Amino acid sequence: MEKVLVANRGEIACRVLRACREAGIQTVAICAANDAGSMFPELADEVVMLQGDTIAETYLNQSQLLEAARSTGAQAIHPGFGFLSERADFAQAVLDAGLIWIGPSPHAIEKMGDKMTARKTMKAAGVPVIPGEEIELEDEAAALSALEEAAQRVGYPLLLKASSGGGGKGMRAVTEPSGFAEAAAGARREAIAAFGDGRIYIERLLTGSKHIEIQIIADRTGHTVHLGERECSVQRRHQKVFEEAPGPTMTPAIREAMGEAAVAAAKAVDYEGAGTVEFLLAPNGEFFFLEMNTRIQVEHPVTEMVTGVDIVREQLRIAAGEPMSCGTVQMRGHAIEVRLYAEDPANGFLPSIGPLAVFCPPEGPGIRLDTGVREGDDVTPNYDPMLAKLIVWAPSRVEALERMRRALDEFVVLGTTTNVAFLRDLCDNEDVVSGSTTTTTIDDTWPQGWSPVEHEALTQAALLSAAAGETLGLHRPSRSGPSSADGPSSPFSTLSRRFP
């Protein structure tokens, strides 16, 4: 495997391209016209510009991607997450083209990607699943009425999910029958728009539970291991924003049971590569299978930080037919990831756009930044508003939270509204501090929505800063160039150091 095409963009494309470079593998990036100035194509050895304007015409266009692989001589395709990463038909097309698919087999994707089949598989493996039903009807009216009936059987509160979905898209919580019709229509429309697939899955909403997931890796030599759990309970509208490993309330017994269930699930579909099995952990210690993500996960870095396993590098190894390099896995310390979004948390988390006039991430020990943007980029409405993942590691959970607070305080983003202040507030949230978060922590804490605590002196100081900037003309470009007008030193050829 000497050349890999990365069929993705943004932060995860950067992650995979760098891993390939480290592994000595040549890389091909694919790139839509509106991404030409992005960071990820700069990290690739070759770039294929995609034709078309919409995502469907570019990053979701299977034939363009396969043609890009053919024309550049790439031998393998890494799908990242989102986009085509969980499309069995694409995985099959990649294999049919004689290429390596860096991920599980189309069969495994289909079995696990389809939520109903996955439920059956897990039931067979003896793992409890949440009560629920799926509606497959294509006709709008028929589908909506079937959904309505199913909802009555499943019971309220319930959750509508796009069957082929992920990342909270096409997902809606419905607490009572009166809100069902509008929610179902919206979920279906969004599912069709995002995934080209209107199938909707209804399941009982289990409140007060934790979202725990197990990372697994399987290679072709028959080894399947789990890398422990991540807790991702802190979600706003089904979008994870705060992820950690290990789970703060996890016990060795539950970890072992969940890990076994996850490995069993992977083995049941002859899984290959990296994958994640998600569970809901109820307050009484019972856990229920949620779904399996048959791809690398956004929050994989927290597992990497505590286990020391480079999951993307392992994906490359396994795809090349090598055994995984990680032996007995041991968790050490504590890692937390927060997702930095271009959004306004004080205004219903509405996505924001604008220039990243200043983008200055924190530095120092125990800090990792996975991003696809840099200062000077524009945040546009074309793609997901996630700007970066900030990950910290420390010997203990308490220290990790302390480090995250410090890192968020240092993170400067000017020109586009972000959720940094919201994330910072989260770090002081009582449930977060005690580790007793559930999937409804955010809604419970800020039922009327989040807004920043007022601080009059700081607001005045900010006004002073802006007024001073205006008065002194700090915004005029002449001030923003390199600070020194001096040329560099003259040639040093007449000098040599004296000692030793």
Partner 1 sequence: MQHRFSLKGEDVDVALVRKNGGLSYQGHSVTVDARGRLKLTLADGSSCTAHAAKVGDVWWVHMQGRTFALERIEPGASSQDHGDGLVAPMPGKILETLVKAGDTVEAGQPMMVLEAMKMEHRIVAAHAGTVVAVHFQSGDQVNQGAVLLELEDTN
Stretch of 62-70, 264-272, 426-434, 490-498 lying at the interface with its own copies (CB under 8 A)? 490-498
Q: Note whether 488 binds partner 1 by CB under 8 A.
A: yes
Stretch of 127-135, 143-151, 342-350, 464-472 lying at the interface with its own copies (CB under 8 A)? 342-350
Query: Other CB atoms closer than 10 Å to residue 137's CB: what's the count?
Result: 15
Q: Note whether 424 binds partner 1 by CB under 8 A.
A: yes
Which stretches of 282-374 are assigned E, i.e. beta strand? 287-293, 334-341, 343-344, 350-351, 354-355, 358-360, 367-371
> Which of 18, 107, 220, 397 touches its own copies (CB under 8 A)?
18
Q: How far is the CB of 107 from partner 1 (least distance, A)?
A: 29
Residue 290 phi, psi dihedral angles, 5° rounding: -100, -65
Q: Note whether 309 binds its own copies by CB under 8 A.
A: yes
From the list partner 1, its own copies, none, which binds 155 (C-beta under 5 to 8 Å, kind-based)?
none
Q: Note whether 301 binds its own copies by CB under 8 A.
A: yes
Active site residue 236: no
Q: Which is nearer to partner 1, 118 or 442 (CB)?
A: 442
Interaction residues for partner 1, span 348-377 (CB under 8 A): 350-355, 357-358, 360, 376-377
Buried b / exposed e along 298-307 (16+ C-beta atoms within 10 A): bbbbbbbbbb
Interaction residues for its own copies, span 47-76 (CB under 8 A): none
Q: Note whether 478 binds its own copies by CB under 8 A.
A: yes
Pairwise CA distance, residues 426 & 336, whole Å: 12
Q: What is the DSSP letter of 236?
A: E
From the list its own copies, partner 1, none, which binds 45 (C-beta under 5 to 8 Å, kind-based)?
partner 1
Judged by DSSP in three states, 488 sits in coil
> Do residues 292 and 317 make contact, with C-beta atoms less than 8 angstroms apart?
no
From the list its own copies, partner 1, none, which binds 332 (C-beta under 5 to 8 Å, kind-based)?
its own copies
Q: How far is the CB of 91 from its own copies (least distance, A)?
A: 25
Q: How far is the CB of 473 from partner 1 (least distance, A)?
A: 9
Pairwise CA distance, residues 246 & 335, whole Å: 7
Q: In the structure encoding, which two tokens stand for residue 157, read together? A: 């509160």
From the list its own copies, partner 1, none, which binds 384 (C-beta under 5 to 8 Å, kind-based)?
partner 1
Q: How far is the CB of 115 from its own copies (least distance, A)?
A: 18
> Which of 94, 232, 408, 432 touches partner 1 (CB under 8 A)?
408
Residue 24 phi, psi dihedral angles, 5° rounding: 75, 20
Residue 101 phi, psi dihedral angles, 5° rounding: -100, 115
Q: Note whether 473 binds its own copies by CB under 8 A.
A: no
Q: Which is nearer to partner 1, 152 or 380 (CB)?
A: 380
**Active-site residue identified among 87, 236, 295, 313:** 295
> Which of 28, 45, 138, 315 touches partner 1 (CB under 8 A)?
45
Pairwise CA distance, residues 215 & 391, whole Å: 17
Q: Note whether 397 binds its own copies by CB under 8 A.
A: no
Q: Both ends of the chain: CA-CA distance in Å?
A: 49
* 141 to 17, 137, 146, 148, 181: CA distances (angstroms): 45, 9, 9, 11, 11
Active site residue ranges: 295
